[in-house]
Amino acid sequence: MATLVDHVRATIDVSRQENLTILAASLAYYAFVSVVPILLLVISVGSVIGGQAFTREITSTLSVYLSSAGQQIVAEVLNSTAHNVGAGLLGILVLVWGALKVFRGMKVAFVEIYDAEPEVSLVKQVKDGLAVAVTVGLAVVAMVGISALRNVAPILSGNTTFVVVSVAGLLAGLICLFFPLYYVLPPDDVSLRTVLPGTVLAAVSWICLQMVFRIYVGRAEKYAVLGVLGAVVLFLTWLYFASIVLLVGAAVNATLAGRGV
């Protein structure tokens, strides 16, 4: 019977053999490309509805992370994007393209990790694509929602009970959101037992990753000086490590299922 150490070694071997870091880099890029048009759509709608008040609110929120020059750039972008229907339409097109690339990248990564033949069924590919889109989208919303709740309720943020409950709720939410991804994307049929470990690992790692980056942003003085460029680099870095976490979770599940080794 394989021990925990054996599973850990097998997971490391799979991660090295399949070059998960390279796969994660491509996923991070396409995820970033998908996020940018979403922001364009939000900015377009928000600018039309909220006007200057919306612009001031966004720049005020980002003032913690951006220099004065960076805040000025954001304000100019918001003002120039207002009432720009073309930016919204372009955002939709790029969003669809980026989402398809993210799905394709994750599908290829799972096929490599499970050491299986690529899936050729169009119906299954469409189903998998919808699962990935919904899962990733809800995961991002959950992360942002918890962060926003802490920002709008600073008094509660210092309460130990609130912190524990929010983290536990976020963990449960991420497990529920990641589970379909790890259950649907593998090229072969998988069991609940072999899917849950990687799901839990990914959820816990995402929470830890968010905490680490929040601490870094709060203490890195040089980061704010870089302005928008620094924010972009930091966000890409977060996406890269988040992608690694997702793929390592898949590698854990693959080794438990006796695949990829």
pLDDT in tens, 156-194: 555 677 667 777 877 887 888 888 888 888 887 788 888
Question: Rounded to whole angstroms, what are the CA distances from 220 to 24, 148, 215, 225, 234?
Answer: 25, 21, 8, 10, 11
Position 45 scores a pLDDT of 62
Position 216 scores a pLDDT of 76
Position 245 scores a pLDDT of 92
Backbone φ, ψ for residue 45 (5° rounding):
-65, -45
Q: 69, 225 in Cβ contact below 8 A?
A: no
pLDDT in tens, 15-74: 777 788 888 888 888 777 766 666 666 666 666 666 666 556 555 555 544 555 555 555
- Span between the terminal Cα atoms of the chain, in Å: 15
DSSP 19: T
Lowest mean pLDDT among 74-78, 92-96, 196-200, 244-248: 74-78
Residue type, 180: P
Q: Quick one: tokens of 148?
A: 């926003």
Position 191 scores a pLDDT of 82
Q: Quick one: tokens of 48?
A: 């039309």
3-state secondary structure of 105: helix
Position 189 scores a pLDDT of 79
Position 114 scores a pLDDT of 84
Q: Quick one: tokens of 133?
A: 């889109």
Residue type, 249: G
Is pLDDT above 70 for 103? yes
DSSP 66: S
Q: Taking all residues of the chain, what is their mean pLDDT, rounded to a whole number?
A: 71
Of 189, 187, 183, 216, nearest to 202 by C-alpha is: 183
Q: Assign residue 67 a region (left: φ > 0; alpha: ψ between -120 and 50; beta: otherwise).
A: beta
Position 44 scores a pLDDT of 61
Question: Rounded to whole angstroms, what are the CA distances from 91 to 5, 40, 145?
Answer: 46, 6, 23
- Taking residues 111-117, what's their average pLDDT? 80
Is pLDDT above 80 for 144? no
Of 106, 133, 130, nearest to 118 by C-alpha is: 106
Position 12 scores a pLDDT of 80
Is pLDDT above 80 for 229? no
Percent with pLDDT over 90 in the chain: 7
Position 200 scores a pLDDT of 93
More confident residue, 196 or 137: 196
Q: Which residues contact 181 (CB under 8 A, 6 or more apart)?
A: 106, 131, 132, 135, 136, 246
Angle in degrees, 0-180, between the axes of helices 20-50 and 85-114, rounded to the nearest 10: 160
Position 244 scores a pLDDT of 92
